[in-house]
Chains A and B, each alone.
Chain A
Amino acid sequence: MKLYDYILSPSCYKVRLMAALAGIKLDLRAVDFHPGLEHRGPDLLSLNPAGSIPILEDGDLVLTESSAMLAYIASLSAPEWLGRASAMETAREQQWLAFSSRLTATLGGARLHEMLLRPGDIAALQAGGVASLRELEAGLVEQRLAGQAFLVTDRPTIADIACFPYVALAPDGGVSLDPYPAIRLWSRAIRSLKGFIEMPGIHRLHELKPEPHLEQDEA
């Protein structure tokens, strides 16, 4: 399975993260998104006319939407990551997968503007980001009140992975996460999952491992 990837792209990271959690090895093909704008070049446009990354290739299958990639990876080797136990789970999963594109448009746009100098109306992007974060916070509060730690149910699903990266990286775009305690707990629960991997801007939770000590002969 080949992923056209950019280390700083939260959308690409969704796919790397899901693959790591599902135990699937990806063949990563680095795309010079910045500064080279390779995703807008003829080779990648012929693969994805939308000019976006990630792109996932598996045999004849070519996917250009990250939510579809998450569903594909989970269906192949981690079906427990799909919310399919009831009509309500299915619906909630679809709800948050669709919601995740609003995070990309707002928080993702603010991040590209503030970090990589891409054009955009920064005040509108940040205001949209705050509105999305408030909606997510309210949703997570209601889930907690129902005894569920994740967006769809009491276990993580692809909907959590679809929403997590742009939320965790909101401060890169000048949007603070300080006012959202439910998002903080949810984010921590995701970062504590076995097999979790980071991307630049999301630090390791050093507390998950006890403080390591040098062996005498190493010192």
Chain B
Amino acid sequence: MRSDTTGFWTPVALSADLPAGTVIPARMAAGTIALWRSQTGHIAASADRCPHRGMSLSHGFVRGEVLSCIYHGWSYGRAGNCLRIPAHPGLTPPDAIRVVTHDVRDTGGIVWVASGIPAGDPPDLDGFTPLRSLTADADRAALALAAGAQADEDGRLVTNIAGQDLCLLLADQPEGRTLIHVLVRSGSDAAARIAASRSVERLRRMAESASHKGGVQ
């Protein structure tokens, strides 16, 4: 875990897993956010809680350029301001009704969300392409042990399994879990991609098994 900067980027999802017009929950170390992409492709991240009655916004829906809560349809723009309260169609919602938003970037096929104010851009992925994301019930140390390599301060771990280079982007989750984004060398064919997906399943199993035996401190 880095401690040197005022802010940092967390890789929360693959770009391909967030199509236009959808919202998904994304876990940051500090809590859950609602991550959404508008119909025209603009991406946004907000607190995962509608201020009206506390409903999780990641259960909501995206119509056009706004995110709406599933409970009462309260709608929010990308900047977090409330645009519509369906129970009162004639009312312009007061500016004070808003959700906290986070800076978000969509680069290298990964969606990154800012904690604090990061000094620079999200890290470059040098020739790697995202494959899939999965969650391990094991911490970073257990995964490093299973992979035989350490993650750098950005959570990037490069390893070679069965002759194949893999880059794992690790993001800490609550309750000792770790979100793993798996990247393969750009240009890998379908068979190599499927092999990589299976390799990481195996790696996760090893890390979890070690964690549950208490073998990893």
Chain A residues in 8 Å Cβ range of B101? none
Contact B19 A185 (CB under 8 A): yes
- Beta-carbon contacts of A180-211 to B below 8 Å, as 1s and 0s? 01101100100000000000000101110011
A207 interface neighbour in B63, B132, B134, Cβ under 8 Å: B63
Chain B residues in 8 Å Cβ range of A184? 17, 24
Chain B residues in 8 Å Cβ range of A185? 17, 19
- Beta-carbon contacts of A133-147 to B below 8 Å, as 1s and 0s? 010011001100110
Quick one: closest A residue to B27, CB to CB? A178
Quick one: closest B residue to A146, CB to CB? B190
On whether A207 and B21 interact (CB within 8 A), knowing A145-B193, A145-B197, A179-B134, the answer reads yes
Q: How far is the CB of B170 from chain A (nearest CB, A)?
A: 14
Chain A residues in 8 Å Cβ range of B201? 134, 138
Contact A205 B61 (CB under 8 A): yes
A145 interface neighbour in B21, B22, B62, B190, Cβ under 8 Å: B190
- Beta-carbon contacts of B18-62 to A below 8 Å, as 1s and 0s? 010110110100000000000000000000000000000001011
Contact B134 A142 (CB under 8 A): no
Write the residues of chain B forming the contact surface with A, with a CB cutoff of 8 angstroms: 13-14, 17, 19, 21-22, 24-25, 27, 59, 61-64, 68, 70, 73, 89, 131-135, 179, 190, 193-194, 197-198, 201
Query: In the complex the two chains form, what is the Cα distance from A142 to B135 in whole Å?
Result: 17
What 6 A-B pairs come out closest when comparing CB atoms? A179-B135, A181-B17, A207-B61, A206-B61, A207-B63, A145-B193
Write the residues of chain A forming the contact surface with B, with a CB cutoff of 8 angstroms: 134, 137-138, 141-142, 145-146, 178-179, 181-182, 184-185, 188, 203, 205-207, 210-211, 214
On whether A145 and B194 interact (CB within 8 A), knowing A178-B27, A181-B133, A188-B22, the answer reads yes
Chain B residues in 8 Å Cβ range of A145? 131, 190, 193-194, 197
Please classify the interface of chain A as helix (H, G, I), strand (E, B), loop, or mixed, using the class held by over half of its residues. Answer: helix
Q: Sample 15 A-B pairs with CB under 8 A, ordered by A number.
A: A138-B197, A138-B201, A145-B190, A146-B194, A179-B134, A179-B135, A181-B24, A184-B24, A185-B17, A206-B70, A207-B21, A207-B61, A207-B62, A207-B63, A210-B64
Chain A residues in 8 Å Cβ range of B61? 205-207
Contact B70 A203 (CB under 8 A): yes
Query: In the complex the two chains form, what is the Cα distance from A185 to B14 in whole Å?
Result: 12
Contact B14 A181 (CB under 8 A): yes
Chain B residues in 8 Å Cβ range of A146? 190, 194
Q: How far is the CB of B29 from chain A (nearest CB, A)?
A: 15
Chain B residues in 8 Å Cβ range of A142? 194, 197
Quick one: closest A residue to B25, CB to CB? A178
Chain B residues in 8 Å Cβ range of A181? 13-14, 17, 24, 132-133
Q: How far is the CB of A209 from chain B (nearest CB, A)?
A: 9
Q: How far is the CB of A211 from chain B (nearest CB, A)?
A: 6
Q: How far is the CB of A190 from chain B (nearest CB, A)?
A: 14
Q: How far is the CB of B66 from chain A (nearest CB, A)?
A: 9
Q: How far is the CB of B90 from chain A (nearest CB, A)?
A: 10
Chain B residues in 8 Å Cβ range of A203? 59, 70
On whether A206 and B134 interact (CB within 8 A), knowing A138-B197, A142-B194, the answer reads no
Quick one: closest A residue to B63, CB to CB? A207
Query: In the complex the two chains form, what is the Cα distance from A128 to B141 in whole Å?
Result: 26
